[in-house]
Structure 1
Amino acid sequence: MMLIESRLPTVDETVQLVRAAQQGDSDSFALMFQIHYAGMLAVASRILGPGPDAEDACQDAAITALGRIGELRDPAAVRPWLHTIVRNICLSFLRSRRPVPVGVAGADLPASEADDPVASIERMAQRDWIWHGLQQLTPRSQTVALLRYFSDNNSYEQIASLCGIPVGTVGSRLNEARRQLAGILPSIQNKRHDDIDALTAERREEASTILTAIANDVALSQVEGRWADGMTMWWPSGRISTGLESLFAVMQNNYDDGVTARLTGLVAGPGITIWENAFVNPPDDPDHCPPGATWLLREKDGVVQEVRLIHARPAEATTE
């Protein structure tokens, strides 16, 4: 389908383009996104201000729209539909910058979202679908995509620290991941996907056990089976240590100072696991540790070979 680049498509052309995209034509979807990108960017810029955040929101909206294009019942309404998606992503981004109260997961969600089983199933299905696509990315694209979309400490600077790469490389690898997903997701949308719940539950139990090992008197020998003897540990200070015992030593020092840790989030997949935890500092030393941390575990044949750790910045200092 040919469109004149100097004008917006007619209603009939828009309908044809959207219907082609709904039938899996990736070129039609790319053209649809190209036509509406300027308007989407204007929406994002009004909310987030002009710059990389607004551009990222538009790219994230494209991935969301790609997965939900079949839900658009009125193809002629694609413009406001895309604007709504990018607006919601921007608002979600702004909310993620605010401090999140510690409590039961989902407690800050409206009751309709937290308790609706249909919505829960849809979120699970979309997560499994996206996960299946992410597993097909090249390793370097996969890691930055997981950190960007599935972790809280997901600024370019934080991702760069976790991956040991320049900040500029984060952006290029995210763009690479988006290009790959644009081709992967339409082809797998209606296929059965591997359920990641079992793996996530297993990794969550492991993470929680290790983070609370000192407080619960769990011996190193009880948890070291999946960790390489020469595991490399990269600390936020730039210090490098080896072996799980080096992590236990630091946790012991923190515990002796009255600090405990609690798992707050986890993402698990083949070859990579991401932990997120909150630190609970003693009342007489509330700033002993940062609010929390993100851990990137790299694995080979199911054995942890490398861990990189960054601390979460205080809420008032968190910027992109």
Structure 2
Amino acid sequence: MGKKHEMVGVPQDSELLHAAQAGDASCLGLLLARHRAGMHAVALALLGHSQDAEDAVQEAVLIAVRRIGDIRDPDAVGAWLRMVVRNVCRAQLRKMSAIPMPEVSEPFEADRSNPTPPDPAEVLDQHALRDWVWSALEGLSPTLRLVTILRYFTDVTSYEDIAALCATPVGTVRSRLNQARTKLVNALLNSAEQVHDDVATLHARHRRLAKETIESGYRGELTSVLSDWWSPQADVILPTGKRTGIDHLPPAFDRDVSAGVRHKLLNVVASREVVIWEIALLNPPENPFHCPPDAVLAHFMNQGRISKTRFHYRARR
């Protein structure tokens, strides 16, 4: 793996970027973990609460591994990562839509001026993070490794072409890529712990806040917690698009609890500016359709307090 970089205190994005571009996978992992909530928020906004949104974030992470050297402005890392997610989502929407969407600039795409597909080994050897990439790829099974190298390090990128080359159905290719993406992304994000614990601390802090908020609602103390963590002028955007304030939340929570609904915290993804909660809404047996199956809350932070919260409910299947 690339040279480790000693950093004192909480490293800035620019420090992490320079270290990542020099070949430090742990710094890239921390950079991606730090901005993952913002990336997730973009995917949710464009694709809704679905596996497609998570797939888009994972796809963007692997694109970032390959194209991290393209970033020229160290202060624009977050914006660049969100742009990568946005372009991945738009590509998915173009495939799903019968009406063609306008093309967008995709600076993370490989150079297509050379019609000869690049050799995967050559691509990886040119990459600043080649040691981590090779090690991570070698940790995959041969079938997962093959589809991953084709998809991300050659011009054989379409599911159909990969399926033909591997002599396997397209559905199998999709499944293998999903498995490989999950393994690689988790390995990269876990490497963030090797350089600094600010992401782990941030996640733990916001997970505690999420649990405290839910538990306070059962005790009838939600208003007090909201006053501690939310800005008094916080904007609350409901799934219908209606905008309201935080005063709307305690009575709405009380109504659900009175109806027998319980809340199970599934996941918290935190960055400095965006925090996402995923919550399962457990309806009582006698009223199974009182609430949608789960909710996603995207919180936008300003000076350590929540300044805006956007709700999204997943539709029943």
Give the TM-score of the pair, scaled to structure 1.
0.48
With the length of structure 2 as denominator, give the TM-score of the two structures: 0.48
